[in-house]
Structure formats: C-alpha cells, structure tokens
Amino acid sequence: MAEATKEAEKKPIDRVIRVFVSSTFRDMHAEREELVKRVFPELRKLCEARGVTWGEVDLRWGIPDERKDQRD
C-alpha cells in the first residue's frame, strides 16, 4: 500500500479551472461581452502563469440562431 502512495505522489496533478456561464438568450449580453473580452483573458493569463489550465464554456454556444429567437 505504501508503494501505491509513493507512485501517486510522483504523478503531477492536473490543475484545471472551468467556468460555465448560463443565462437566458435575452439577458446578460453586456455582461457576457465583458467576461469574454476582458475578464476571461486576464484570468487565463494568471492561471497559465501558475500552471493552471483555464477554460470557459458558454452554455449558449452551439445553439442555432433560430432557437435563440424562441421563447426561453
């Protein structure tokens, strides 16, 4: 058992931060722009400098435009 613990200690730990952004299609437009253009790039730089992988996911990505016009 001590052998397995030593092996686990040798492996590098993946450090990852993922942020998921969700809202309706009718709100948060200005806030999302601020996040994508200013906040997230700064956070990505800070994370990379510390060996952390940064990733953001906007849960609206991949939704067809015609669905965006439908009622929330």
Per-position DSSP letters for 28-66, written without gaps between them: -HHHHHHIIIIIHHHHHHHHHHTT-EEEEEETTTT--HH
Which is nearest to 21 in space by CA: 34, 32, 37?
Answer: 32
Check residue 25 and give its pLDDT: 73
Can you tell me the distance from the alpha carbon of 3 to that of 14, in angstroms, rounded to the nearest whole number?
21
CB 53 within 8 A of CB 15: yes
What pLDDT sits at residue 38?
96
- Write down the pLDDT at residue 55: 94
3-state secondary structure of 16: strand
Q: What is the pLDDT of residue 24?
A: 75
On whether the pTM is more than 0.75, the answer is: no
Q: Name the stretches of the chain with pLDDT < 50.
A: 72
pLDDT (0 to 100) of residue 10: 65
Q: What is the pLDDT of residue 37?
A: 94
